C-alpha cells in the first residue's frame, strides 16, 4: 500500500477518469476531479462526493487550459497528475477551436502540453494514449490538417502518439519527475463504444497505479504501459528529435513554454 497522495485527473466527470478517481479515493488518496462545465462538475461530485474538489474548464482552447491550471495551482501542489481528458476517434468532421486547430488535437495534445507547462510540477505525470497510436505517424508538418483530407480515426491515432512523445519528452527534461504513458485498452466507455472488447475493470487501474504506487515497476520514467505491464510504444515515440519538434510546435501554437 502506498502513502496518501494528492492526484488531479483531467476529464474525470465520467468514464475512465472518474473510475480512476473512485479507485484512488478507495485506496486512501486525495483526488481533485475536472469537468468541462458546471453541470458536469455537479454530476462528478454526486458520483464521487469524497473528492476534494472539482475544477471546471473547457480544454479545447488554450484560454480554457490556462483557467484550469490557475484553479489547480490555487489548490496547492499535487503529487501526481493524470492527463485523462480526450476526444475520441469517431469525430467525423474537423471541429475548429479558437486557435484554428482540430478539436481532437487541441484537447488530446495541446491541452496536456499546456497543463504540464502551467501547473506546479508534481512528482509524477501520467498521459493516456491508445493502442491506436502504434499505427500512427507523428505528421508534425500538418498538425492543422490543412494538407490532408480529414480522417477522424487517423487524427485520433496521431494525437495519441503525440501524447507518448510528450510523456517521453518530459521524462527527458524533468529528470526528477516520473513521466509515463499508457493505453487503457479498447473498453466500452462512451468513447470506446458499447462493442469494445477489452475488460473495463482493467482500464483505469494502470493510471492510478502509475500515479501513486510505491512498486518498483511503477517508479520508472519515460516508459509505456498496458494493464500495469510495460510494453513497447510506437518506435517514433522514442525519437528525441520528434519529441523536441512536437514540444516546439506546441510552444508556438499555445504561446506557452515548458519550464526548464
Contact 157, 130 (CB under 8 A): yes
Contact 175, 120 (CB under 8 A): no
Active-site option among 160, 245, 249, 252: 160
Closest CA to 226 of 128, 124, 92: 128
Give yes or no: 156 in active site: yes
Give yes or no: 245 in active site: no
User: Strands, E, within the chain: which ranges?
Assistant: 6-9, 30-35, 53-56, 80-83, 124-128, 178-183, 224-226, 229-230
Decide: helix, strand or coil at residue 204.
Answer: coil
End-to-end CA distance of the chain: 33
Active-site option among 156, 224, 245, 252: 156
Write out the catalytic residue numbers.
156, 160
Amino acid at each position: 500500500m502506498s502513502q496518501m497522495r494528492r492526484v488531479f485527473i483531467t476529464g474525470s466527470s465520467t468514464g475512465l477518469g472518474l473510475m480512476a478517481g473512485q479507485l484512488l479515493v478507495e485506496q486512501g488518496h486525495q483526488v481533485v476531479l475536472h469537468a468541462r462545465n458546471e453541470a458536469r462538475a455537479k454530476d462528478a461530485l454526486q458520483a464521487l462526493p469524497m473528492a476534494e474538489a472539482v475544477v471546471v474548464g473547457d480544454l479545447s482552447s488554450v484560454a480554457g487550459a490556462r483557467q484550469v491550471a490557475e484553479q489547480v495551482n490555487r489548490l496547492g501542489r499535487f503529487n501526481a497528475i493524470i492527463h485523462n481528458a480526450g476526444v475520441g476517434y469517431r469525430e467525423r468532421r474537423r471541429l475548429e477551436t479558437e486557435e484554428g486547430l482540430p478539436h481532437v488535437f487541441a484537447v488530446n495534445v495541446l491541452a496536456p502540453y499546456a497543463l504540464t507547462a502551467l501547473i506546479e510540477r508534481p512528482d509524477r505525470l501520467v498521459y493516456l494514449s491508445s493502442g491506436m497510436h502504434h499505427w500512427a505517424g507523428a505528421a508534425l508538418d500538418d498538425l492543422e490538417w490543412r494538407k490532408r483530407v480529414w480522417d477522424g480515426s487517423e487524427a485520433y491515432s496521431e494525437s495519441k502518439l503525440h501524447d507518448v512523445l510528450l510523456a517521453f519528452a518530459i521524462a527527458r527534461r524533468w529528470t526528477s519527475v516520473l513521466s509515463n504513458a499508457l493505453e487503457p485498452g479498447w473498453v466500452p466507455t462512451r468513447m470506446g463504444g458499447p462493442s469494445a472488447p477489452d475488460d473495463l475493470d482493467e482500464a483505469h487501474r494502470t493510471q492510478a497505479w502509475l500515479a501513486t504506487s510505491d512498486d518498483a515497476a511503477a517508479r520508472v520514467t519515460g516508459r509505456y504501459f498496458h494493464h500495469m505491464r510495460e510494453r513497447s510504444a510506437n518506435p517514433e515515440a522514442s525519437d528525441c528529435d520528434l519529441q523536441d519538434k512536437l514540444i516546439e510546435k506546441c510552444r508556438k501554437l499555445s504561446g506557452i513554454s515548458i519550464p526548464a
